[in-house]
């Protein structure tokens, strides 16, 4: 049993001169020190130092034997010994054997090879350090939130960088202490949603949290449950967040600026309409009263007609400006409908103009379902039809062809006409308000129709663009989400 044991076992005799003689050394001990038993049995440790054992190792194990004699109690320790040029780890235990006088006369030593365990522990520690480095190097703050204690129990370095707190600072602070008063109710609803979520989904939230310096930081966070108690109750929440303070402040300023601009446009349009009405009224009155005087004066007639035309165009521009300002603040009501239904409503409202120009309109995909605000989308096609009629090729009847398809989870609508086309440099600027590609010299209108199309489609989370070449017609491409949340 002694030589067949898996663990190393040896017996020492304690000498008077504080040396130690090896009396027994089993087979496992021989294998793990790479020595033969005849080279060590009945020899003192001092004799083996520098020959069987390196001097440093002999000195180290001699100190452990001396400590066992001094304490007269078993001692246990972990040590390393070289074996075939490799370091091996051992859990060693020394048991003292006392004589009748209570003095240690012999020591029994045992050693278990724990190299595999130590290597696993080292790898685990390395992985832990590596994971800690990854977590602390992340661009987002990370926290573990104890739901029962209502506070964070662990954070990464980025959390400290963003908010100023270390984990010690958070020991006595709950989430109620940190979240902005105006965001506490939404935060509580968010936590309830996270706790109730069974599928461990990442649930987002934006809120303000107090920095250590007292300022408020806007955070965009996602949270999920990662640990549950034995009775399956949520216990630990994992969250990550980024600082969006700059973005939030910019959006607030932008919102305020847009509201001011819309208000200004609305007031300006209203304020301009009253004097303009008087200009138009007086101009019409003067034109009628002075008609007899203008009969022989072509220049006067031309100037008066230009004055009336300019006044009328100004009125149209102001009315369109009002429409645009109202549109930018309008809430849309999307419902499922067909492309044919939208086109039919548009044709009905523009029936006189379409018949007057003998326009032909065809649809390849009349039953294609789209989810839009019907009244607004009728305005889109009204403006597109009006452009096709206005900018038709001379001596050619206007033809419009409409088709649609689904591509990359989006609905693509193609509107093609056979008009005079748009030169490539103007493909983008054509959608700017009051942009008139002919400088208003040949075609009437305010130049706001395509701008309204763009705004309406933008409200639907879509895009519109055009492609064309001069005298070869224009294709407008409308891209819409396949479905709206």
CATH number at residue 415: 3.30.565.10
Residue 54 and residue 34 in one domain: yes
Please indicate, yes or no, if residue 223 is contained in any of the structural domains: yes
Q: Are residues 154 and 232 in the same domain?
A: yes
Boundary residue ending a domain (117, 150, 185): 117
What is the DSSP pairing of strand 360-363 with strand 399-407?
Answer: parallel
Cα distances (Å, whole numbers) of residue 218 to 49, 142, 162, 223, 226: 68, 15, 11, 16, 25
Please classify residue 178 by burial: count the beta carbons closer than 10 Å to its beta carbon, then call 0-12 exposed, 13-18 middle and 19+ buried.
buried
363 and 447 part of one domain: yes
Tally of domains in the chain: 4
Q: Are residues 235 and 253 in the same domain?
A: no
Q: Is residue 130 part of a domain?
A: no
By 3-state DSSP, what share of the chain in percent is helix, strand and coil, each rounded to 5?
45, 30, 30
The answer to the question of residue 2 being in a domain is no
Q: Indicate whether 61 and 13 sit together in one domain.
A: yes
CATH of the domain at 255: 1.10.287
Whether residue 367 contacts residue 340, with contact meaning beta carbons closer than 8 Å, is answered with yes
Distance between CA atoms of residues 122 and 213, nearest Å? 40
Identify the domain boundary among 277, 311, 327: 327
Model pLDDT for residues 340-394, shown as the tens digit of each residue: 999 999 999 899 889 999 999 999 988 999 999 898 899 899 999 998 998 888 8
Query: How far is Cα 351 from Cα 12, in angstroms, rounded to an integer?
Result: 114
| Residue 357 tokens, joined | 């120009």
Do 149 and 42 fall into the same domain?
no
58 within some domain = yes
pTM, 2 dp = 0.46
- Domain annotation covers residue 214: yes
| Residue 128 maps to a domain | no
Q: Does residue 340 share a domain with residue 420?
A: yes
Place of tokens 């200004």: 264
Q: Are residues 315 and 364 in the same domain?
A: no
Task: Determine the pLDDT at residue 331.
Answer: 74
In this prediction, residue 24 carries a pLDDT of 92
Same domain, 17 and 78: yes
| DSSP H or E segment with residue 263 | helix 245-289
Which residues of the chain fall below pLDDT 70? 1-4, 261-273, 313, 316-330, 434-447, 484-485
Does residue 19 share a domain with residue 105?
yes
Is residue 440 located within the same domain as residue 346?
Answer: yes
**473: domain range?**
335-481
Which of 216, 243, 270 corresponds to the end of one domain?
243
212 lies in the same domain as 107 = no
3 part of a folded domain: no
Residue 126 is assigned to a structural domain of this protein? no
The CATH number for 93's domain is 3.30.450.20
C-alpha span between 280 and 24 (Å, rounded): 123
């Amino acid at each position: 049993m002694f030589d067949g044991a898996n663990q190393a076992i040896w017996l020492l005799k304690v000498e008077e001169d504080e040396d130690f003689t090896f009396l027994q050394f089993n087979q496992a001990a021989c294998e793990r020190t790479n020595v033969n038993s005849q080279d060590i049995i009945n020899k003192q440790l001092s004799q083996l130092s520098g020959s069987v054992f390196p001097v440093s190792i002999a000195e180290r194990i001699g100190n452990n034997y001396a400590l066992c004699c001094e304490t007269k109690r078993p001692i246990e320790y972990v040590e390393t010994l070289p074996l075939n040029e490799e370091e091996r780890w051992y859990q060693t235990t020394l048991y003292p054997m006392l004589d009748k006088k209570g003095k240690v006369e012999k020591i029994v030593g045992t050693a278990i090879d724990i190299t595999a365990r130590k290597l696993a522990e080292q790898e685990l520690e390395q992985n832990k350090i590596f994971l800690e480095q990854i977590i602390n190097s992340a661009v987002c703050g990370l926290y573990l939130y104890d739901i029962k204690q209502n506070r964070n129990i662990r954070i990464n370095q980025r959390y400290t960088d963003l908010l100023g707190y270390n984990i010690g600072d958070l020991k006595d602070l709950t989430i109620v202490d940190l979240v902005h008063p105006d965001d506490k109710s939404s935060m509580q609803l968010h936590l309830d949603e996270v706790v109730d979520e069974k599928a461990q989904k990442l649930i987002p939230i934006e809120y303000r949290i107090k920095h250590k310096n007292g300022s408020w930081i806007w955070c965009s966070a996602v949270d999920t449950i990662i640990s549950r108690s034995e009775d399956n109750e949520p216990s630990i929440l994992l969250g990550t967040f980024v600082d969006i303070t700059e973005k939030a402040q910019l959006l607030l300023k932008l919102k305020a600026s847009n509201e001011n601009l819309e208000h200004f446009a609305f007031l300006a349009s209203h304020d301009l309409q009253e004097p303009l009405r008087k200009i138009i009224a007086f101009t019409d009155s003067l034109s009628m009263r002075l008609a007899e005087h203008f009969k022989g004066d072509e220049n006067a007639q031309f100037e008066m007609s230009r004055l009336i035309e300019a006044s009328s165009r100004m009125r149209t521009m102001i009315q369109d400006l009002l429409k645009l300002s109202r549109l930018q603040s309008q809430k849309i009501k999307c419902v499922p409908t067909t492309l044919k239904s939208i086109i039919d409503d548009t044709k009905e409202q523009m029936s006189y103009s379409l018949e007057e120009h003998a326009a032909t309109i065809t649809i390849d995909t009349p039953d294609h379902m789209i989810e839009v605000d019907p009244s607004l989308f009728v305005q889109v096609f009204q403006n597109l039809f009006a452009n096709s009629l206005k900018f038709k090729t001379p001596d050619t009847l206007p033809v419009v062809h409409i088709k649609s398809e689904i591509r990359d989870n989006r609905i693509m609508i193609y509107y093609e006409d056979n008009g005079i086309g748009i030169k490539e440099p103007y493909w983008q600027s054509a959608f700017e308000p009051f942009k008139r590609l002919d400088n208003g010299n040949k075609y009437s209108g305010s130049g706001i129709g395509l701008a309204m199309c763009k705004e309406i489609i933008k409200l639907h989370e879509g895009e519109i663009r055009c492609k064309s070449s001069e005298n070869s017609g224009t294709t407008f491409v409308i891209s819409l989400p396949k479905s709206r949340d």
